[in-house]
Each structure stands twice: as structure tokens, then as C-alpha cells.
Structure 1
């Protein structure tokens, strides 16, 4: 195909046989003629490969890449490396994409020469709880074209901002010129990715229009009671995220001066680590991860980035508890 695709969908697939048919239907219903589909089968052990091959005839620009299982970030990077579209998107296969999402985002992106175009979505729970907007309309309203730092400060200040890639489309040349990739093996990689993208984006626009259902599975790892070992792993993932966020803040001091909530979010995510540590019942394991927190300089980083009396008070209360864990 000689014409450059308007949009490349880079899709990580791992054991997605239950979701792929509905996912492909949602993409067909976008009615985008000049679309590039890049499916990275990340070592699936179910029938995903067969289903992916079955849909090849349904799309004119369609590519399946097979690789050993390396995780969603590695799969996204594999797809990103070969994408050719003017814009990029990274949808998750187990969510619901409403008709018109990508045409609407492309409309504002092209009209306003955006680096990032983003919309709203809905949390949908499979345990019967009522759905709710991801970004409450009373906290975040539609914007005009903003600098990425302005939108990031506004979004973080709402205290309702969710760091995700799947509500956005990105101008490919912008992502390529910045050399952005996803961190392999890191859960919640969307946090540092979104932060750095928005700190460097010149033109961003948010529309409070709901086009995406984010499905929260009650049986998923993220939403079931953890064990001590999962809490330790989660804490270590978030320590890495804080180190990445701190490095980002140091790389872009001018932008961070305009978006000081970038420092607040380090302390906010740090409080989550302290909560996980507090829930570890095995004293030796709790002592080990607490020592790692101090040895890696994470505690100092959290404290130094805290904003305001409330965050410092919450951290101060936990400091003496952490020190006690080291002597238990």
C-alpha cells in the first residue's frame, strides 16, 4: 500500500481468544478506510494466533507479528517499531471501543495539529457495581488546544487523572522524534509514559466525550486480595516507576516548573507503596522491602517531592512505622 495510513493501531495480544472477535468488530465499526492494523501476538498459548490469522482478510492493511512472551510493553514496542501511520493508538483487546472514537480523535488532531488527542471513557465493573466516568465531568472538562504541561498540571490537580495510553491517539512523528518506547517488564508503565509524553507535547486537546469502556475484572491480579509476595513485587514495580518519574522531572526542569503536580504525583504513588508494605504480614519480608525502600533512596525521593502540609503529615506518620519495621 503506497499511501501512508492515517492511523496505526498497535495491539498487544496475549491469550485473548475470548475478546478478539468483539475487539475486531469494534474496529470495523470505526469505519476508517486508511487504517493500519499491527497485532503483536505475545506468546499466546490459546487460540489467539488462529483467530488473528482468520481476520487477515477483513482488513486491507493488516499485519500479525509473532514473538515469545515478553509482556505488553515489549509487544507495544515491537509494533511501534514497524508502524507507519500518521497517528498511533494502543487499544487493549479486552475493553470496548465505541463507534466513532478514532474518527473523532483524528478529526480534532488533524484540525488542530495536535501531538496528543484524548477523550473520556467509563469504568465498567463485572461484579455488578454501577459504571462511572473515568474523568468526572465536574473535575475535568473539555479543553481547547493546550500545551502538554498545562494539560498535565490541570489533569493531575483534579486528583482524578488516570495515566493510560488507550484513551489517546498520538502524532507518530512526535513520538518518533522523541524516541519514546515502553519500559519492558514494568507494570503500570503508562504512568511514566504518559507523564513524559505530556511534558514534551506542544499541542494537546481533551474532549469530555465518552468513547471507551475500561473493563475491571474482579478476578484480575489488580483487583483481588494480594499475597505478601505480590505486594512485594507491586512495591518494587512502583519503586521503579518513582525512579523513572524522578528522572523525567530532572530531564525537564523547565516543564516541571510549570506542572509542579509532577512532583506531587511521586509522593502520591509513594504513599501507595507504603500502604502495600504496611499490609505485608511476614515480618522478615516486610523488613526486607522496607530496607530496600531506604537503600534505593525511595523514601527520600518521596519526602522531597511531597507538596503541602497534608502530604508531609501523611508521610511523617508512616516514617516511624517504617523505622519500626526495620527492627522487628
Structure 2
């Protein structure tokens, strides 16, 4: 690894990605026109992921491998943030893939416009090679514009086009350090909280429309796990996301327009929680504490305050009715 500061540090949490990690790392190593380091953190994997990482690191000094006991993806990314030396920080998941030119395009754009955050675009795939002309994940970002983070939230959250995927965000390391940004540990849906904190602090955000990042649809991910423990973690994650949105919305420094938008997003996230509790968590005793916490926190009132149409009003009333039954 060179002693000079890399252009970018790519943080890769790795947990049981043996079948895919080689392809992901090769797609990053093949990025031309940037001096990069890869910080690959093996988070207590129980398969052969660590052996693959160590073998690849022995052949390419740009890969730094860290092995730790299983601590979860947020703690793993935080460990990467502590170790990162690059001017920019990018993220990738171990089962995904990156198109050629991604990092150079993002960084060149960020430098040219003196950005804090570059918002990229991505596509989903099931197997490599990816589709030749994939459907982009996002269509309604402020393409070609530069704005502050609050404006980004105002422009995209109401349209359900808010980019919360951390692997579509290339951030300047000095910006992360200045604001002490870290992922909230032990929380599922941590990307939403990260994107919220980033949006509230960024002064200059820009957007690259080309879909460079490939997200693998992986049935083994936690969001697809049917186990009660995994579903309960998802429910707890939604509660924490709702709390983060409400706290930001009610902050006196948040202007009224953004406050209403964040409350509306809390309404939506409450609907996601309702779906998880009704459709995925079929245990009344496990449902009960989540329902009680929701009701005791006054989130029904928040949902009503954030409702902008009849459907969102009905969602709030339905949450009140169903959670009251679950909490009894």
C-alpha cells in the first residue's frame, strides 16, 4: 500500500460472502484512474470468507483485511471509518459488484464541485455478468444540480426517491470527521439513520445519474430471513428509525417544511413496521413490546401530524387500532 493518501477508501463489511466476495473485490480493484485502498472487515464469518480475503490481500497490497468477532454491519463500517485514510470514503457490500469507472466518476464529480457528498445510482441483479442495460434504481434525483442536504431531503423524500443506500453515497472523509458521523450500532435499517444525519449536515450534495453500482438480490440477507429473531430485529430497527425521524423533525433548528416532510416519512416507516408485525412476526408475545413502545411513544399522534392525504391518515388510524390489539 502506498504511503501517500489514497483518493478513496472503500469499506467492505464481510459476513458469509465466500461465494461472492472475490467478484466484488475484483470489481473494486479494477477501478481505473484512482488510488484506492480496500478495508475489508470480516465480521465473524463462519464460512470461508476470511480465507478468500487473506488470499487476495496477499496478492494485492491495496486490500487491508481486519478480522473481528461478529458485531454487526454498523460496528463493522464504523471500524472501517476509523481506519480509512482516503480523501473520499465509499462503501460496498460483499455480495455486490461495481461497474468500471464508478469511483473515478464519483470522485472527479465531487472534486470538481467541491462536494461533501456524491449521490450515485445503482441497479439490481441476480447473477454476473449483470444486465447490459439495467434499470436504474433512482430516476428523480436532482440530476445536474448542487444543493445542500436539507434541500436534497426536501426534493427526494416526498417522492419516495430518497437515496438511503450507503453504497450509493461517496462522502468526503473530512466531512465525516468534522461531524463525527458514525453508524448506529446494533440497529437494522441503519442506512436510513446515516442518510438522515448526512442530509442534515451536508452543505454541498451532487448527483451522478449513471447506474454504476450493482446490488445483488440475495435471498440470504437479513431482510429476507424468516426467523423470529431476524424479524424482531427489523421491527426494532423501524422503531429506532421512526424515533430518529421524529427527533429531527421536532428539533427547533429544523425548518417547518423539512419538519413536515420528516414527519410524513415517519408515517411511512410506521406503515412498514405495521407490515412486519402483522405479516412476518406471528408471535403475540414478541409483538406486544413493539406495539406498546409505539403507542407509549405517541407515534400515532406523530403519524396524524405527518399525514398529507387520506391514505396516510387511514394508515395512522389503522396503526392505532392494530397496535392497541397487539399491546393488550
TM-score (ref. length: structure 2): 0.88
CA contact (8 A) 1:86 1:171 kept: yes
Shift of 1:321: 3.4
The normalised TM-score by structure 1 is 0.88
> How well do the aligned residues superpose, as a CA RMSD in angstroms?
2.4
Contact 2:17 2:95 in 1 (8 A): yes
Taking a change above 3 Å as real, the CA distance of residues 61 and 213 of structure 1, as seen in their structure-2 partners, is: closer
Aligned to 1:71: 72
Asked if structure 2 preserves the Cα contact closer than 8 Å seen for 1:53 and 1:64, the reply is: yes
Deviation for aligned residue 1:204: 0.7
The yes-or-no answer on 1:198 pairing with 2:199 is yes
Q: Which residue of 2 aligns with 1:31?
A: 32
- Matched with 1:253 is 253
Matches within 5 A, 1:220-259: 220-223=221-224, 226=226, 230-251=230-251, 253-254=253-254, 257-258=257-258
Output the CA distance in 1 between the equivalents of 2:166 and 2:278. 30
Match of 2:137 in 1: 134
Alignment of 1:1-328 (within 5 A): 1-125=2-126, 132-135=135-138, 137=139, 139-140=140-141, 142-223=143-224, 226=226, 230-251=230-251, 253-254=253-254, 257-258=257-258, 260-279=260-279, 280-327=281-328
Distance 2:80 2:325 in 1: 47
Q: Deviations over 1:148-178 (max 9, x none)?
A: 1112211112223341110120010001100
Cα offset, 1:288, TM superposition: 4.2
- The alpha carbon displacement at 1:62 in A equals 3.2
Cα contact 2:119–2:163 (8 A) shared by 1: no
> Could you tell me how far 1:277 is from its partner in structure 2?
2.5
Note closer, same or farther for the CA distance 1:48–1:265 as it changes in structure 2 (3 Å cut): same
CA displacement at 1:11 relative to structure 2: 1.2
SS state at 1:278 partner:
helix
Shift of 1:306: 3.3
The DSSP-based 3-state class of the residue aligned with 2:198 is: helix
Unaligned runs of 5+ in 1: none
**What do residues 262-292 of structure 1 show as CA deviations (whole Å, max 9, x unaligned)?**
2211111011112222334444444443223
Q: Given the superposition, is the C-alpha separation of residues 61 and 215 from structure 1 closer, same or farther in structure 2, using an over 3 Å criterion? A: closer
Higher mean C-alpha deviation, range 148-157 or range 31-40: 31-40
